[in-house]
């Protein structure tokens, strides 16, 4: 099922953890609608910006899958509103370029520079809400083995 011009439902719900643990990660109608919105409003413009394929390393995560991967109890992934996007898989630009494109050009609820270095994140987390987007920009890093989020400067 196509969610948008460049994204399919399958790539937004795939999970090796779900497959390995036998977790059904099938979204309901409301989650599919949220996935359509984040793919149309964020993923498609990003795909056009880089001029080639982008990897969705994490999309929808049902509650059981989210718990299995250690996701936040309030993760927007569980609502179908968040994607983790990675340029490195297909070598179409850098994650840093993608991050700045989203920050400077698109509507979003939350944008996170996920780990990596000061020059390039390992991946970009972005969420989009059909109701309200607060444009919160954060950086995730590990401190004493724990993930810490700081405001983007």
Average pLDDT over residues 127-138: 96
What domains are there in the chain, each with its CATH number?
9-151 (3.30.1380.10)
Instruction: Indicate the pLDDT class of residue 92, thresholds 50, 70 and 90.
Output: confident
Task: Give the alpha-carbon dihedral of 61, 64, 68, 69, to 10 degrees.
Answer: 10
- Cα–Cα distance measured from residue 65 to residue 71, given in angstroms and rounded to the nearest whole number: 8
**Tens-digit pLDDT profile for residues 10-69:** 999 999 999 999 999 999 999 999 999 999 999 999 999 999 999 999 999 999 999 999
| Predicted model pTM | 0.94
- Cα–Cα distance measured from residue 30 to residue 4, given in angstroms and rounded to the nearest whole number: 16
Q: How many CA atoms lie within 13 A of 45 on its CB side?
A: 17
**Residue 142: both structure tokens together:** 């590990």
- Cα–Cα distance measured from residue 102 to residue 116, given in angstroms and rounded to the nearest whole number: 18
């Amino acid at each position: 099922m196509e969610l948008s011009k460049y994204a399919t439902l399958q790539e937004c719900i795939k999970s090796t953890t779900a497959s390995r643990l036998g977790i059904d990660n099938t979204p309901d109608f409301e989650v599919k609608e949220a996935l359509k919105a984040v793919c149309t409003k964020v993923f498609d413009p990003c795909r056009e910006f880089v001029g080639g394929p982008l990897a969705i390393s994490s999309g929808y995560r049902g509650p059981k899958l989210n718990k299995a991967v250690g996701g936040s109890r309030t993760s927007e992934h569980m609502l179908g509103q968040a994607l983790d996007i990675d340029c490195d898989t297909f070598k179409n630009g850098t994650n840093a370029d993608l991050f700045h494109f989203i920050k400077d050009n698109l509507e979003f609820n939350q944008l996170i520079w996920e780990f990596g270095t000061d020059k390039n994140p390992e991946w970009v987390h972005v969420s989009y809400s059909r109701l309200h987007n607060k444009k919160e920009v954060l950086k995730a890093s590990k401190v004493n083995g724990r993930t810490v989020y700081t405001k983007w400067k």
